[in-house]
Chain A
């Protein structure tokens, strides 16, 4: 037996992430071709399954860890940044973050290596961060803000967060990107000879370029803070005055591609919820659930990152939502089949209609030689929380089952199902949202809450939170939905 070196890992990480995205993008990649990328698929499968139960803890742990910023080793020049994050390291770090969906399926050596890489990046010195602010905002931070805390309070994925007070007196969090990092990562993702060769080991070669293009798009998208700021502004406006949902506003005039300034939010981190009462956890879960599906069905938008690091909790169900780097806006034509699927399966009890909607959405091949019973049996797990009325607890086991089903390449449906590109991001509901709710072991009458939200029912408030939300909604008649950003 050959001993597996730690190194392997990067091919495996990249392949796992790429295949995951690929599977999400086109879903039913023929089994044979997937089988050739056996190791990577196994990673994705195992990773997916264990993600559901373990990832929140991993994330929380990572978040805590990152608080220990090594200011004594701070990067002082753009050259320091280049030697720390150039030559693929920035790319590996980004990919490592994306691999958090398959994180736990990776070998301990890979996980250790990725986390060490994360640890190896110290914050910027006060001077260097100040230079970035000056380049971006045209003034040094001390002039751009009334008060500026030169000591960073947290690490962001490719930058760091500083506290400041604006000239008009608002307390803000300023996310500052490492100088030159976006250019380095972009250049490394354009020179793909190495990645291509590493991927060929595990992935079928004809797909490699498509996979790399997918990865490149995703990573480059996340490097542009302006996009994120624009998204967050729209969402903050949409949820303004909401009794439970809070989204920090963006200070547009102090935000650019590499610096983003938002209202400072404070609150308990996800990990702290473990010590809160189950009642509090249930309320927090209800808010997260409402936020996800209200946004989708009413605002036609989905924030693609339901991950524990992106929430702050304030008690009584009040939650602050952070990080709008990855948002998807839907057209009504795109949403219609999803709504039909829910309605046919959960309300009308019409399996044939459900199947027809799946086909219309592109989830299922029209000529799939499987019975409708099999289709329903396979898909029901995704709808399990809303098929029947009554309180139901979402457990870690349920979250695992959902993920397991999603990645089940051996199911009779596997080779006939696909996830069309425009729905890829929604799968993070299955992969991420249920993991979060499962970690909270949240109990609610999810069906009753869903009926409030489903556009074909718009039921009465099912909970006190629903009643408070109804009051807020009534106070804002005809408010616009979150519209797709102009290209």
Chain B
């Protein structure tokens, strides 16, 4: 028997929750880059957000250079839960923390990116994690995933709110070092941009390996695995068919009303588990109180 090449996913929920809770400020000096009335806040607390995260990763990994950077530099195999927790903390920080804290977190990420350079073994091309083109792909897929999955499994955004969200998130792109002029600022621009990158995408072995892991993480307890199966189906169902085909994943069951309800149930259970972790309820209450105070003024 060979040793399991990966660390188990045990602790994934607990560590993501801890990172999340620690990233929601107690008493912020300002409302950060988005603020209580923003669509960004609304989507960050939407039931669909775990699916959005998974769908974004599935899209991001299809870019061979983005994937190569992760594959050759990240410690995700050794500590997958830690890697996801760090991402979750970063997103919570730029969404909810005061501006100075968001800028500090972004500066740290930019510093790490400077060391992430190399040659992709599949395409033979050089990559550089600070390359705005790569960063933009990661950014745009995240924004796209939020809109798509909220529409399928959460509270759908109206067309104007979708445009607002894309525009709001330009600030997030700038934080990681993408010049504002390069960043889509409306849904139409986002769609055009995503289509323009599509020819460069492919399901490399590294992409498949990492996503296979993510879709079926070893070490998940049986019950969480049941829930994860629905989250995974939801993410696969939210992918464009061409993207799913690049991985060679079979199409998930058709999204009937009852299937959609089932996925929402799974997300509700997952959210309840998350809520059961120390500090998460209080973090959410901090967000809710700020949102409420803003609504009143």
Contacts and interface: CB of A to CB of B under 8 A. Distances in A.
A330 to B, nearest CB: 37
A70 interface: yes
B268 A89 contact: yes
A120 B275 CA distance: 8
A377 interface: no
Interface in B247-297: 258-259, 261-262, 264-273, 275-277, 280-281, 284-285, 288-289, 292
A10 interface: yes
A43 to B, nearest CB: 13
Nearest to B293: A72
A11 interface: yes
B1 interface: no
A80 to B, nearest CB: 10
Contacts of A191: 258, 261-262, 265
Contacts of A187: 261
B235 interface: no
A2 B221 contact: yes
Contacts of B273: 5-7, 9-10, 113
Interface in A1-37: 2-12
Interface size class of A (residues with CB under 8 A): 35 or more
Contacts of B212: none
B14 interface: yes
A5 B281 contact: no
B266 to A, nearest CB: 6
B8 A194 contact: no
Interface in A111-169: 112-114, 116-117, 119-120
Given A11-B223, A88-B269, A194-B265, A5 B230 contact: no
Given A2-B8, A5-B13, A10 B262 contact: no
A284 interface: no
Given A5-B10, A7-B227, A73-B288, A188 B221 contact: no
Contacts of B47: 83, 87
Contacts of A7: 13, 221, 223-224, 227, 269-270, 273
A193 interface: yes
Contacts of B219: 2-3
Nearest to B224: A7
B226 interface: yes
Contact of B8 (A3, A8, A113): A3
Contact of A116 (B230, B262, B267, B276): B276
Scoring A6, A70, A89, A92 by chain B CB atoms within 10 A of each residue's CB, the highest score goes to A6
A26 to B, nearest CB: 25
Contacts of A70: 285
Contacts of B14: 5-6
B289 to A, nearest CB: 6
A198 interface: yes
Interface in B1-46: 8, 10-14
Contact of B220 (A5, A10, A11, A72): A5
Nearest to B228: A7
A116 B281 contact: yes
Contact of A194 (B222, B269, B281): B269
Contact of B226 (A4, A83, A92, A201): A201
Nearest to B10: A3
Interface in A233-290: none
Contacts of B285: 70, 73
B164 to A, nearest CB: 19
B267 A87 contact: yes
A120 to B, nearest CB: 5
Contacts of B264: 86-88
A459 B281 CA distance: 57
Interface size class of B (residues with CB under 8 A): 35 or more
Contacts of B261: 187-188, 191
Contacts of A112: 276
B272 A117 contact: yes
Contacts of B269: 7, 10, 88, 92, 194
A197 interface: yes
Contacts of A11: 222-223, 226
B271 A198 contact: no
Given A73-B288, A113-B275, A4 B267 contact: no
A6 B13 contact: yes
A201 B277 contact: no
A12 to B, nearest CB: 7
Given A3-B11, A112-B276, A116-B276, A194 B223 contact: no
Given A8-B222, A11-B222, A191-B265, A72 B272 contact: no
A10 B272 contact: yes
A88 B265 contact: yes
Interface in A167-218: 187-188, 191, 193-194, 197-198, 201
A9 B265 contact: no
A117 B221 CA distance: 21
Nearest to A194: B265
Nearest to A111: B276
B201 to A, nearest CB: 33
A368 interface: no
A109 interface: yes
A8 B220 CA distance: 9
Contacts of B220: 5
Contact of A2 (B10, B12, B259, B271): B10
Contacts of A197: 226
Contacts of A72: 289, 292
Contacts of A88: 264-265, 268-269, 272
23 contacts: A2-B10, A2-B219, A3-B8, A3-B11, A5-B10, A5-B11, A6-B13, A6-B14, A6-B276, A9-B223, A10-B223, A83-B155, A87-B47, A92-B268, A113-B272, A114-B276, A117-B275, A117-B276, A188-B265, A191-B261, A193-B259, A193-B262, A194-B266
Given A3-B219, A5-B14, 6 more contacts: A3-B221, A5-B13, A5-B221, A5-B273, A7-B221, A193-B262
Q: Pick the 5 closest A-B CB pairs, nearest first.
A: A87-B268, A113-B276, A7-B224, A3-B10, A88-B268
